[in-house]
Amino acid sequence: MHPKEIAVNFIAKALRVILIVLTLFLTVTAFLGGIALLAGLNAPPVEMLHGSPFHNWTIPGLGLALIVAGSALFATILLLRKSKYALLFATTAGVIIMFFEFIEALAIGSPAGAARVMQISYFGLGTLIVVAAMGMWFLELISAPNK
């Protein structure tokens, strides 16, 4: 095997493991965060939603637990099964959490403290997922045999 092929295979395997870890982390934390919002555990004051389309944390909690965590779980399962659709859904999960954080910042602002740190961290996590998935896709393109 050519050294270039060895390097590409190693990087592709490393990116796959990284993507699995990132999407699994997003699955668990988004699900637990959504449940916490729904149960009112450590939820921000509902007054933060004043002026937003939300009257309480139910819709954001459901969105986090079902849409964000669900998309990340689906991506994780496809990555583990080595599905040809895994990169598409990993990218989708990354974009969904980025979109969720964007909407959150529009709805409640970006208050100093834990909320801002989490908004930045999870937007960054979504970005990492998208970049890793696109990196794997690129590696697949360059390592595909010419037809």
pLDDT, tens digit, for every residue of 59-113?
Answer: 999 999 999 999 999 999 999 999 999 999 999 999 999 999 999 999 888 888 8
* Cβ-defined contacts of 53-56 (< 8 Å, 24+): 53/107, 54/107
What was the pLDDT predicted at 45?
A: 86
Q: Is the pLDDT of residue 147 over 90?
A: no
Q: Looking at residues 124-145, what average pLDDT do you find?
A: 93
* Total domains, the chain: 1
Tell me what percent of the chain is helix, strand and coil, each rounded to the nearest 5: 80, 0, 20
Question: Predicted confidence band at 146 (pLDDT cuts at 50, 70, 90)?
Answer: low
Q: Is the pLDDT of residue 42 over 90?
A: no
CB-based contacts of 66, cutoff 8 Å, min separation 6: 34
**CA pair distance 54, 50, nearest whole angstrom:** 8
What was the pLDDT predicted at 144?
A: 77
Which range of residues forms the domain containing residue 120? Answer: 3-143
Conformational region of residue 52, where left means phi above 0, alpha means psi within -120 to 50, and beta covers everything else: beta
What was the pLDDT predicted at 62?
A: 97
Q: What is the pLDDT of residues 6-31, one digit of tens each?
A: 998 999 999 999 999 999 999 999 99
What was the pLDDT predicted at 95?
A: 98
Helices and strands in the chain, H and E counts:
5, 0
Q: Looking at residues 126-134, what average pLDDT do you find?
A: 98
**CA pair distance 72, 54, nearest whole angstrom:** 24
